[in-house]
Amino acid sequence: MQHKLSFMETVVYGLIGLAVFLGIWYALPATGLVPQQFLPGPATVVERMTVLATQPFAGATLPAHIGYSFVRFMSGFLLAALIGIPLGLIMGWFRIVDEIVAPIFDGLRFIAPIAWVPFAALWFGTGVGGPIMIIFAGAFPPCVINAYRGAKQVDPQLIEAAEMLGTGHLRMMKDILLPASVPSIVAGLRVAAGLGWQSLVGAELIVASTGVGFMMVQAQANVATSTVMSGMVAIGIVGLVIDMLLRRGEAAIRRRRGLAE
């Protein structure tokens, strides 16, 4: 590997790369090489986003749509965490549970969360349950898997010490496995959040009547490209913020535990 670049060099090269990208993006519609309808320039998109901040489209303003999406995301995500993490710990502790659940889990794993959308539509219509179910399907596996791995990788001597001290099953999972698995669980939450957010978008494209995904589908039907792109930017930003917050949380926990960062 080559030598690391200095901070200045990184910044300069970064700005060059960014400038080239934005330049091309701006030039293509501006020079008429590509029709504006097809590819609105960066300025157009930014302008459109500011308009959408106060003017509703497809039933609500952009911030309102984001709000709907975010609430659904949090519901599905928390549900996945509250069910998935204990399940993972139980599977990690009771081998019989592992042996029963794992094959079913492994089988279902290959069905993309998005494939549950038709059933979600059938069961919940365009109500809020549909997207939440899809988000759950996306966020659930990483929660379980990371809790499971965390439990399995607990120092066996810790467990032996706990057993020697007469620890019952529930307390073992609650006070030994859970705290010891926190780094793995938090890493899993990050992955789950990413997958959950992605699943949300997919679900909203199909079975929603509000939310950013829904807004984008309506915009596409109306050939409102700049609105579609506004939605993409908004989704990207929210996803980034969620990930950043979780990453901070993860780093803080790792620091408290004295783990490598």
Partner 1 sequence: MRSRKTIIGLGAILGVVVLWFALTRWFSIIPVGRFPTPAAFWEALKQIELKGYAGSLLHEHAWHSLRLIIISFIVAVGTGVPLGLLMGWNRKAEALINPVFTLIRPIPPLAWIPLAILWLGLGDAAKVMVIWFAAFVPSVINAHAGVRNIDKSVIEAARMLGTPPLRLVMEVILPGALPMIFTGLRLSLQASWTTLVAAELVGALVGIGFVLNVAQQDIYPAMILVGMLTAGVLGWFTTFVLGLVEKSVLSWSVRGRA
Q: Is 90 in the site for partner 1 (CB under 8 A)?
A: no
Is the CB of 33 or the CB of 96 nearer to partner 1?
96
Is the CB of 51 or the CB of 205 nearer to partner 1?
205
Structure tokens at 157: 């001597």
Instruction: Select from 33, 104, 170, 260 the one that contacts partner 1 (CB under 8 A).
Output: 104
Q: Is 180 in the site for partner 1 (CB under 8 A)?
A: no
Which residues are CB-neighbours of 149 under 8 A, at least 6 positions away? 88, 92, 181, 184
Q: Is 87 in the site for partner 1 (CB under 8 A)?
A: no
Q: Is 228 in the site for partner 1 (CB under 8 A)?
A: yes
Structure tokens at 197: 């957010």
CA distance 47 to 230: 9
CA distance 114 to 244: 25
CA distance 162 to 226: 60
First to last CA, the chain: 21
CA distance 250 to 163: 29
Structure tokens at 177: 């496995």
Structure tokens at 43: 């300025």
Stretch that binds partner 1, among 74-82, 84-92, 182-190, 234-242 (CB under 8 A): 234-242
Stretch that binds partner 1, among 17-25, 71-79, 152-160, 250-258 (CB under 8 A): 17-25
Give how many residues touch partner 1 by CB under 8 A.
Answer: 62
Instruction: Select from 80, 177, 189, 206 the one that contacts partner 1 (CB under 8 A).
Output: 206
Q: Is 112 in the site for partner 1 (CB under 8 A)?
A: yes
Structure tokens at 220: 């596409």
Site string for partner 1, 40-59 (x = CB under 8 A): --------------------
Q: Are 228 and 58 in contact (CB under 8 A)?
A: no
CA distance 8 to 239: 28
Q: Is 14 in the site for partner 1 (CB under 8 A)?
A: yes
Write out the residues near partner 1 by the rule CB under 8 A.
1-5, 9-10, 12-18, 21, 38, 96, 99-104, 107-108, 110-119, 121-123, 197-198, 201-202, 205-206, 213, 216-217, 219-220, 223, 225, 228-229, 231-233, 235-237, 239-240, 243
